[in-house]
Structure 1
């Protein structure tokens, strides 16, 4: 009988000693999950910040081109001849396209950003060519 009580005592002692380590494991797991959640939030925040920065840069580039168009339009208004009116119409069309592209960039979601950015960059390249062609075609108006 004494041996039986000795075995129960040892088993009880072992059970008591394993209790705190189980609690420590639970606390450790809980802490790890909280840290993982914070890391996910931080990564999402950084991704959102990066996306907003990319959008701002793209919009700034397009707005700079729009400012060039506005400046050229003002110069052409002073001339008032038929060719300058034609040039102003072309500039207005380019400006409308750029404003549309700015709105697309502003409203682009994170999921569609890559395709929107690619389209904006392609449009930027195309508008650069259009701008060069425009200046070449109407160079006599900008002396």
Structure 2
């Protein structure tokens, strides 16, 4: 955003310098005002674009987490029906993973543009942990997957 601001500021400055033959302060002041307005409009457009991009990324990530959670919920329900001791152990393990996902989903939903990079980093780490846990779970409980 600073890059765009500097470009717009340079353009405004050049616009003011371009008409040096006009020595009236009113003309220079008008050009300066026009340049400043261009800078404001450019900054607003940049902020709108960045905000839209952030919201899109946040919603996409939240949807991905919700889909993963739905998969876990389905397997947890299936394990509840089985009722064996091994199924109970597996269910508790998956519920822990689901709880971790729920916490991260709240982080995503509560994130702001300013905190997005840190939130995304935390989510990436959690999703890797969930993937690893899921693979380990499937290895440990092969007989529960038919």
TM-score (norm 1): 0.80
Match of 1:29 in 2: 32
Deviations 1:21-68 (A, max 9, x none): 432322221111111111111111111111111111221221121011
Deviations 1:60-117 (A, max 9, x none): 2211210110111121122111111111111111111000011111112222211110
Aligned residue-pair number: 126
Tell me which of the two structures has the higher relative contact order, counting C-alpha pairs closer than 8 angstroms and 6 or more residues apart: 1
CA root-mean-square deviation:
1.7
Segments of 5+ residues of structure 1 without an aligned counterpart are: 1-17
Runs of 4+ aligned residues of structure 1 deviating over 4 Å after TM superposition are: none
TM-score (norm 2): 0.79
Query: Greater Rg, structure 1 or structure 2?
Result: 1
Give the SS at the match of 2:112: coil
Segments of 5+ residues of structure 2 without an aligned counterpart are: 1-21
